[in-house]
Amino acid sequence: MHAAIQTIEQDFEQALRQAQTRADIEAVRVGFLGRKGRVAELFSQLSALPDADKPLAGKLVNELKNRLHDQLALADARVSDQEAGRRTESSHLDITLPGIRQRRGTCHPLSIVIEEICALFVEMGFKVVEGPEIETEYYNFEALNIPLEHPSRESFDTFYVQGVHLLRSHTSPVQVRVLEKEKPPIQIVVPGRVYRPDATDASHSFMFHQIEGLLIDEGISFAHLKSVLSVFAKKLFGSQTSIRFRPHFFPFTEPSAEVDVSCIICRGKGCRVCKQSGWLEVLGSGMVHPQVLAAGNIDPEKYSGFAFGMGVERIAMLKYGVDDIRLFFENDTRFIRQFS
Ligand code: 2U9
């Protein structure tokens, strides 16, 4: 039995030395440790031994089996490593090459401006509110004192979706919804997308962004409106910035005014951007019309308030010196990446 064990072990070691692949090793395993392999054959010969020799012989064969098993595992690991190495060489992978840099994204310039403007109003106590882009005629027009046959409805030209549903032409319907739900004091700013069927050119887009504000409380006057917008203009465009009000008409405010800021390029001296006037029109504003308050279930005898609105694209174009609104919407990352 000793001699048989020695022969098997020598044959095994020789076979294993010649094994190059995992398949070769598997063949060695089957030949020696398989069900009909050389070790199984030894086990079957045990029964022919005298009873007294059986325990020792059995122990020796068992120990042989364990040694072969361990060596097979080691050889398998060695060949697996070699195979992986060969695969790596054949795919020409050079693990010393520098990695591919993942470029980080940047904020869209309009998002930067929206966040900056909202943050300035939040500092003054305003809350940021958003609402639906698909609206009804009631919230987009009627509640805002823009009746069906009124010519002013044309200046809010609208995309209709179906029946009374439309793409909002301003963010004002959101303020109406807040008036309906909440009691004064109300102090909100509303950023969002709005839609108007304008022909596209360097300064018009059928979709653009507005930020509108609304403040309602007892005893609110035009003086409050002037001071809030003056602080806003100085914070956004610089402390030397001044504002002026020009009378205007909006159906939802009375009195209404357009608001200019002193030109941020020439500081009021006159240049190409302000068309030599020294002023840039950036805001609309006014005292909320009593009928609009009433539509929102707010008592116009007790409460008053002001509202204002601005176009985000116009402000971003002035701030960054962009001369074509379409650049904001073309998804050209060479343009969009410049503003972070
Ligand atoms: C309610 C009451 C009043 C919203 C207002 C403006 C003035 C305004 C435009 C300027 C250029 C938007 O981007 S733009 O087209 N907006 O001038 N908007 S007051 O007044 C409201 C809104 C809601 C309940």
| Burial (CB count within 10 angstroms: exposed 0-12, middle 13-18, buried 19+), residue 327 | middle
User: Does the pLDDT at position 152 exceed 70?
Assistant: no
Domain boundaries, the chain: 2-90, 109-339
The pLDDT assigned to 161 comes to: 87
In which band, very low, low, confident or very high, does the pLDDT at 89 lie, cut at 50, 70 and 90?
low
Assigned CATH class of 109-339: alpha beta
| Residue 194: strand, helix, or coil | strand
Mean pLDDT within 259-285: 94
Q: Please name the amino acid found at residue 242.
A: S
The pLDDT assigned to 305 comes to: 98
The pLDDT assigned to 312 comes to: 98
Mean pLDDT within 92-119: 91
The pLDDT assigned to 69 comes to: 94
User: What are the residue ranges of helices labelled H in 94-250?
Assistant: 109-123, 137-140, 172-181, 222-237
User: Does the pLDDT at position 155 exceed 70?
Assistant: no
The pLDDT assigned to 81 comes to: 82
Find how far residue 192's CA is from the centre of its chain: 16
8 A C-beta contact, residue 244 and residue 279: yes
Instruction: Share the mean pLDDT of the chain.
Output: 93
In which band, very low, low, confident or very high, does the pLDDT at 321 lie, cut at 50, 70 and 90?
very high
The pLDDT assigned to 148 comes to: 81
Give the number of other Cβ atoms within 10 Å of residue 48's Cβ: 7
Atom of ligand 1 lying closest to residue 173 CA: 23
Give the number of other Cβ atoms within 10 Å of residue 163's Cβ: 8
* Closest-CA residue to 338 (of 33, 108, 184, 91): 108
In which band, very low, low, confident or very high, does the pLDDT at 86 lie, cut at 50, 70 and 90?
confident
Atom of ligand 1 lying closest to residue 210 CA: 13
In which band, very low, low, confident or very high, does the pLDDT at 156 lie, cut at 50, 70 and 90?
low
Q: For residue 113, give both structure tokens.
A: 């401006």
Q: With 0.85 as the threshold, say if the pTM is over it.
A: no
Q: Is the CB of 304 under 6 A from ligand 1?
A: no
Q: Is the CB of 292 under 6 A from ligand 1?
A: yes
Task: Name the percent of the chain lying above pLDDT 90.
Answer: 78
Q: Which residue's alpha carbon is at the smallest distance from atom 22 of ligand 1?
A: 172
In which band, very low, low, confident or very high, does the pLDDT at 38 lie, cut at 50, 70 and 90?
very high
Mean pLDDT within 159-185: 94
Atom of ligand 1 lying closest to residue 176 CA: 24
Strands, E, within the chain: which ranges?
127-128, 134-136, 160-162, 165-167, 186-195, 207-217, 243-250, 253-262, 279-288, 304-311
Among 21-35, 69-83, 178-192, which is the least confidently predicted range?
A: 69-83
User: Does the pLDDT at position 88 exceed 70?
Assistant: no
